[in-house]
Structure 1
Amino acid sequence: MAKESVKARDKKRRLLVQKYATKRAALKAQGDYVALDKLPKNASPVRLRNRCNITGRGRGYIRKFGISRIVFRQWALAGKLPGIRKASW
C-alpha cells in the first residue's frame, strides 16, 4: 500500500492537469513555449502515473479496471468483478 502522501500528491497533480488542460492546449497551438514553461510543472500530463484506486500502488496497474494486479486477483477470486473468473483449460 502506498503512503498517504504519495496518494495525495498524485491527486493534486491530477487536479492541476485538469485545471490547466485547456490553457496548455491553447499555448501549444500558438507555439508560445515561453508562456508554457511558466505554467506549473505538475500541470503537465507527462508527470501523471497510473495508480491503483484502492491501494495507490504504481506498478501492476490494470487500466481497464483502475486497480492493481493484487487487488484485481483478490476481487476476482471473491467474485466482486462481474464476468471475471479464473481460467482453466
Structure 2
Amino acid sequence: MSFISSLSSTANSLIRSSASKLFGFTQKRSGAGWTDWRMIKDNKRRLLVKEHAVDRLRLNTLRKNNILPVELREIASQELHNNFPRDACLNRVVYRCMLTSRPRGTVIKFRTSRIMFRHLADYNKLSGIQRAMW
C-alpha cells in the first residue's frame, strides 16, 4: 500500500512541476489554452491572493483588534497598505465562466455563466441537472 501512495505522490509532483512550466498557469482546455487574457489576469490575481493570504490575515487581525493600542493598529494598517500588491486582496478576484470567461451571472457551483449553464442543461451535459418541465 505504501508503494502505491509513494507512486501517486511522485506522479502528483511530476504533474505539478510540468504544469508550472507553462508560465505558472495550470489550466488547459482542448489545446486552445486560456479563453482570453482576462482569465490569465484573474489567475495571476488568484495566485497572488494565495501567496499573501496568511500575512494579510495576520495584519488585518492586528488592525481590527480593539484591545491593542492605536499606534500598533496604525502601523499594521500602513504595512498592509504599503507592503502588499493591490491584487493580493480577495475582493479583486472575479468569478468567471470557465468556458466563455463571462464575469457576470456565474453559477459558482458549476463555474459557468447562466447562459452556458442553461445550454449545457438543455443538452444533458451536466449531471443531476434537468430542465424544469410542467
TM-score by length of 1: 0.89
Q: Tell me the distance in 1 between the aligned counterparts of 2:47 and 2:101.
A: 16
Pairwise CA RMSD of aligned residues?
1.2
Q: Tell me the distance in 2 between the aligned counterparts of 1:21 and 1:77.
A: 39
Q: CA deviation at 1:30?
A: 2.0
Q: Tell me the distance in 2 between the aligned counterparts of 1:16 and 1:54.
A: 23
Hey, what does 2:59 align to over in structure 1? 27
Hey, what does 1:66 align to over in structure 2? 111
Moved more, 36-45 or 3-12: 3-12
- Higher RCO by CA contacts (8 Å cutoff, separation 6 or greater): 1
Residue 77 of structure 2 aligns to which amino acid in structure 1?
A: Y
User: Does 1:6 pair with 2:51?
Assistant: no
Residue 51 of structure 1 aligns to which amino acid in structure 2?
A: R
Larger Rg: 2
Q: Tell me the distance in 1 between the aligned counterparts of 2:129 and 2:62.
A: 47
Residue 62 of structure 2 aligns to which amino acid in structure 1?
A: Q
User: Does 1:37 pair with 2:90?
Assistant: no
- What residue ranges of structure 1 are gaps of 5+ in the alignment? none
TM-score by length of 2: 0.61
- What residue ranges of structure 2 are gaps of 5+ in the alignment? 1-34, 64-75
Q: CA deviation at 1:54?
A: 1.5
Percent identical among aligned pairs is 39
Q: Tell me the distance in 1 between the aligned counterparts of 2:60 and 2:81.
A: 11
